[in-house]
Amino acid sequence: MPIFDDALAKLTDSHRERVEQCLVLWAANAGWGQLAANIRAECALRFEHFGSLLLDFAQALGRSPALAPEDAWCSACARYELHGAEMPLPQRPSVLGRGSRIRHFAGEISTKRRHVSPAQAERLVRKNAGRIPPVDEEDILRAGTLGGRVIWATFNVADGNADPFSGLPSRMPAVCTALGLGFHADQELLVLTYRSEAPVHGLPLHRPTVADAKNYCYYRPHGDAASCWGYTEPLTPNPEGLRALPEVVHAQVGSAALIFPYQILV
């Protein structure tokens, strides 16, 4: 069950009014209206964490000079990232997958290998798509990270050792639709699979919450409060009837966990 009403009731009258007024205001906007609905539907955060998140949000709204409501929400969420339930070890998949922008992945390589420019890194990423790279190039490709501070990933529920994208058409629009990547404006999608075990990973896998999603309006809270993971919301239109995929979040990990070959889809 959603915990919004109970958590809101714990706030002072002034704090409660700020939150409610903001959500009513957002409801009139297509993108932010979905965020307001997501906040009201949240059921994955522990009650005390969600109550603290709403309090931090209300306080951020009341600061002087006041933050824009959108900035206030994102600021409040930062402290509650990766607070969803941790996936138990018996259910933990050994292979994870995610979609990324090529330039983001290449940029991380360039940041870590300063003698490699972003353009050089991107050329290297493109050159090695769909193949096992030579050792010297593999070393460079493993220099970066697989994403930002909070990484979103999917997996195969039936077989945690299997390719998370098996069964999906090998086309960018289809994978973006299934993953709910509504903000992916590029004409290409870098599809990565990677190991979840230590020493290359080993970090906890968490069920996503609204705090992890922040202002991402394509996220939807999974309605089963007892579930150890969430599910994507496939984009519309979805002419192929692609199913929702399981999703988890975890802290940043390096590309040492990457499984070759990776794919670039169009």
Question: For the ranges 23-27, 55-59, 62-66, 125-129, which has the lowest average pLDDT?
Answer: 62-66
pLDDT at residue 184, rounded to an integer: 65
Entry pTM = 0.96
pLDDT at residue 66, rounded to an integer: 79
Average pLDDT, the chain: 96
Concatenate the DSSP letters of all residues of 18-34 into one string. Answer: HHHHHHHHHHTSHHHHH
pLDDT at residue 203, rounded to an integer: 98
- Coil, helix or strand for 248? strand
> Does pLDDT of 1 surpass 90?
no
pLDDT tens track for 53-112: 999 999 999 998 878 999 999 999 999 999 999 999 999 999 999 999 999 999 999 999
pLDDT at residue 185, rounded to an integer: 61
pLDDT at residue 257, rounded to an integer: 98
Q: Span 143-156, mean pLDDT?
A: 98
Q: Apex CA 76: angle with CA 3 and CA 43, to 5°?
A: 20
Please state, for a pLDDT cut of 90, what percent of the chain lies above it: 94
Tell me the C-alpha to C-alpha distance, in Å, between residue 60 and each of 1, 18, 33: 27, 10, 20
107 and 67 Cβ atoms separated by less than 8 Å? no
pLDDT at residue 187, rounded to an integer: 87
Question: What percentage of the chain's residues is helix, strand, coil (to nearest 5)?
Answer: 40, 15, 45
pLDDT tens track for 161-195: 999 999 999 999 999 999 999 876 678 999 999 99
The domain ranges of the chain are 4-80, 89-265
48 and 3 Cβ atoms separated by less than 8 Å? no
Strand partners, 189: 265
> Does pLDDT of 230 surpass 80?
yes
pLDDT at residue 104, rounded to an integer: 96
Q: Span 221-237, mean pLDDT?
A: 96
